[in-house]
Amino acid sequence: MATFCACLLISYAVAIGAEQRRPSLDKDFERFVAEKRELAQQLGKLHAVSVPPLIWKFFDAVQSNNWQAASNAFYKIEPGTGRHGGRAWVPLTLWGPIHDTFGAYEVVNSWNIGLVHRFGNAIIRTIPPGSLYFGGTDAGRFVVSFLSESHSQGRPFFAITQNALADGAYLDYLRDMYGTNLWIPAIEDSQRAFQDYLFDVQVRTANNRLLEGESVKIVNGRAQVSGLISVMKINETLARMIVENNSSREVYLEESFPMQDLYGQSLPHGLIFQVKHQPLNEIPLLAIETDRKFWTDQCQELLGGPVKQDTSVRNLCSWSELVFLHPESKRFEGNRDYVKDAQAPQYYSQCRSAIAGYYHWWAKKLGGSATELLERESDYAHRQAIALSPFNPVVIVRYTDFLLENRRTNDAKILIQTSLRIGPEKHMEVDSEILKAALEKLRLQSKQLLSLGQ
């Protein structure tokens, strides 16, 4: 009996020791979690709803840096996956601070923390106080949120995501945080955005101009839409409304899904875009040169500068395969933490790919003598995006489409085959609808190009 008790005591001591050895939270994230916990309490009082105990258990787990307990609690709370068959079982008015906290915790738990700060601060320090910022990707949204002085109070700027604007509960959350300082769409604005999209999609259906991946059925003369593309088109309309109705504030946007309706009033701004309140007639040459220098410096610091303006796709792919399959290679002169990280390459590459797509859009819009310059700039930006992540399927697909449009079939074939050899699933979690669709398209394009025998 004494031996059994001693074993229990030893086991308990080991467990306590393991708990004490759990790494401490990043200080900025720790402050953010405390702020969101307080906000959840404030929202409960504001809306006269009871806060379920599991929510406090969730925050306790995050604050003690217990990933397993926090994620278990989160997925029990999450609307659509909770214990009540997909119905929200906690008041939706409390969902915002929980989601923000877990989104940021996922980033902190999966990234090299030095790279997290590097990415977020590269955005934050370029945005003037009092501005409005749209964060599109998980990194662009959650990293910027938790590194801000106060996300809940909009300091130094108001940070929202364009990806959730079609969600009424998210708009309510924004009103709770920023309603007295920002114009936020009301229910009737959301309904109008949806109706505008339905009208537009019916016209485009009749003219055979649907977007790739856009799902529309006409039933009894009415359009029924579904899927990510449709939701993002509605989000795009609501984002434009927010820009137009907050005309006194500077606006910045980090892209996840291309919002081409805003390209005509946007300029490259480091990792992101600045969205002007009036349309532009052209992209100033200084803006292009500044953008090129910024990304050349980024590639130099992160990768050792492997991409020059005359670097071929074949040479780029050879370098990528060497470095990302063998990051210990002595030929690599960049940041080894970066090439070994599971997240950072995805987001840096996506930011650069967004700007490449933007240049391509402007090349088509302007035509004439501007086309050659902007297409060359787009090509260079695409190759930099590939160097930053030769396994991000979204980035590969975007450049592949560019190459095929310009009849560079052999370059497209080399690019796709290299990416699939490096293996997206080996380097990142291909878990989102966007990433899965892009990877499926890559595999299909690979088969089609191989069948050409080129």
**Please, what are the domains in the chain?**
18-110 (no CATH), 111-280 (no CATH), 285-452 (1.25.40)
Average pLDDT in the 137-150 region? 97
Cβ-contact 339, 345 below 8 angstroms = yes
Better-predicted residue by pLDDT, 310 or 80: 310
3-state SS, the chain, equals: CHHHHHHHHHHHHHHHHHHHHCCCCCHHHHHHHHHHHHHHHHHHHHCCCCCCHHHHHHHHHHHCCCHHHHHHHHHHHCCCCCCCCCCCCCCHHHHHHHHHHHHHHHHHHHCCHHHHHHHHHHHHCCCCCCCEEEECCHHHHHHHHHHCCECCCCECCEEECHHHCCCHHHHHHHHHHHCCCCCCCCHHHHHHHHHHHHHHHHHHHHCCCCCCCCEEEEECCEEEEECHHHHHHHHHHHHHHHHHHCCCCCEEEECCCCCHHHHHHEEEECCEEEECCCCCCCCCHHHHHHHHHHHHHHHHHHHCCCCCCCCCHHHHHHHHHHHHHCCCCCCCCCCHHHHHCCCHHHHHHHHHHHHHHHHHHHHHHHCCHHHHHHHHHHHHHHHHHHHHCCCCHHHHHHHHHHHHHCCCHHHHHHHHHHHHHHCHHHHCCCCCHHHHHHHHHHHHHHHHHHHHCC
The predicted pLDDT at position 223 comes to 65
Q: Identify the pLDDT of residue 16.
A: 41
- Mean pLDDT to the nearest integer, 326-332: 75
Q: How confident is the model at residue 202 (pLDDT cuts 50, 70, 90)?
A: confident
Q: Higher pLDDT residue, 89 or 104?
A: 104
CA distance 363 to 366: 5
- Tens-place pLDDT, residues 369-425: 899 999 999 999 999 999 999 999 999 999 999 999 999 999 999 999 999 999 888
Kindly report which listed range (17-21, 270-274, 333-337, 447-451) carries the lowest average pLDDT score: 17-21
Nearest by Cα to 113 from 162, 70, 147: 147
Q: What is the pLDDT of residue 126?
A: 98
Mean pLDDT of the chain: 89
Q: Which residues make beta-bridge pairs with 254?
A: 135
Q: Which of 87-91, 118-122, 167-171, 314-318 has the lowest mean pLDDT?
A: 87-91
Question: What would the pLDDT profile of 252-279 be if each residue is shown by its tens digit?
Answer: 999 999 999 999 999 999 999 999 999 9
Q: pTM of the prediction? A: 0.90
What's the mean pLDDT in 322-350? 88
pLDDT by residue (tens digit) across 41-96? 999 999 999 999 999 999 999 999 999 999 999 999 987 644 444 455 788 999 99
Report pLDDT for 428.
Answer: 82
pLDDT at 97 over 70: yes
Joined together, the tokens standing for residue 368 give: 């004439």
Identify the residue whose tokens are 């936020």. Answer: 184
pLDDT for 26 beyond 90: yes
Q: Measured between alpha carbons, how far is 442 from 413 in angstroms, rounded to an integer?
A: 10
Of 429 and 327, which is predicted with more confidence?
429
**Where is pLDDT greater, at 173 or 209?**
173
User: How does pLDDT run across 214-259, given as a tens digit for each residue?
Assistant: 877 767 766 667 788 888 999 999 999 999 999 999 999 999 999 9
Distance CA 95, CA 55 (A): 10
pLDDT at residue 85, as a whole number: 44
The amino acid present at 311, given as its one-letter code, is T
- In this predicted structure, the answer to whether residue 167 has a pLDDT above a threshold of 60 is yes
Cα dihedral across residues 274, 277, 283, 287: positive or negative: negative
Q: What integer pLDDT is reported at residue 15 of this predicted model?
A: 41
| Residue 107, CA distances (Å) to 102, 112, 120, 148, 243 in order | 9, 9, 11, 15, 28
Dist. CA 364–CA 40, nearest whole Å? 47
Q: What average pLDDT does the segment 340-348 reach?
A: 93
Long-range contact pairs involving 342-346 (C-beta distance under 8 Å, separation at least 24): 342/110, 342/111, 342/427, 342/428, 342/429, 343/107, 343/110, 343/111, 343/115, 343/139, 343/428, 344/111, 344/112, 344/115, 344/119, 345/388, 345/389, 345/391, 345/392, 345/427, 345/428, 346/389, 346/392, 346/428
C-alpha to C-alpha distance for 36 and 327, rounded to whole angstroms: 38
> Quick one: which of 397, 163, 129, 139 has its CA closest to 271?
139
Segment 184-196, tens digit of pLDDT: 999 999 999 999 9
